[in-house]
Amino acid sequence: MMALIPGDMRHTINVVEVTSTRDEYGAEVLTESTLYTLRASVKYGVGNKGIDLNEIFSHQSIQFSTYYRSFDPTHIIEFKDRRYRIISITEIGYREGLIINTELINE
């Protein structure tokens, strides 16, 4: 069983929720709001770059460990001016902490 080590949580991440609404013309309007600003430890995973139809794509995975908060995989993690899609969330202990596996969003 993994335990959280507070000294390793020296990075700051933001958990962002994206909501969709319609304007008066029926067009979709996306609104973002920061749910949490958390301290986290970071483990970098594999990464690679590829070219498809003259467009460069990169893949980078990062695992964040942080204190427990209630959120879901539809949210986005912001870290060092980059945005990451949540792949999975694993609870550590009983609401002690979370391990969040993510991948870089290509924008």
Evaluate whether residue 1 is within a structural domain.
Answer: no
**Tokens 């990075």 belong to residue:** 11
Distance between terminal CA atoms of the chain?
36
Query: 102: buried, middle or exposed (CB in 10 Å: 19+, 13-18, 0-12)?
Result: buried
pTM of the model: 0.81
Query: Which domain covers residue 87, as residue numbers?
Result: 10-104
pLDDT in tens, 2-58: 666 666 889 999 999 999 989 899 899 999 999 999 999 999 987 777 777 777 767
Q: How many separate domains does the chain show?
A: 1
Return the pLDDT at 47: 72
**73: part of which helix (H) or strand (E)?**
none
Evaluate whether residue 20 is within a structural domain.
Answer: yes
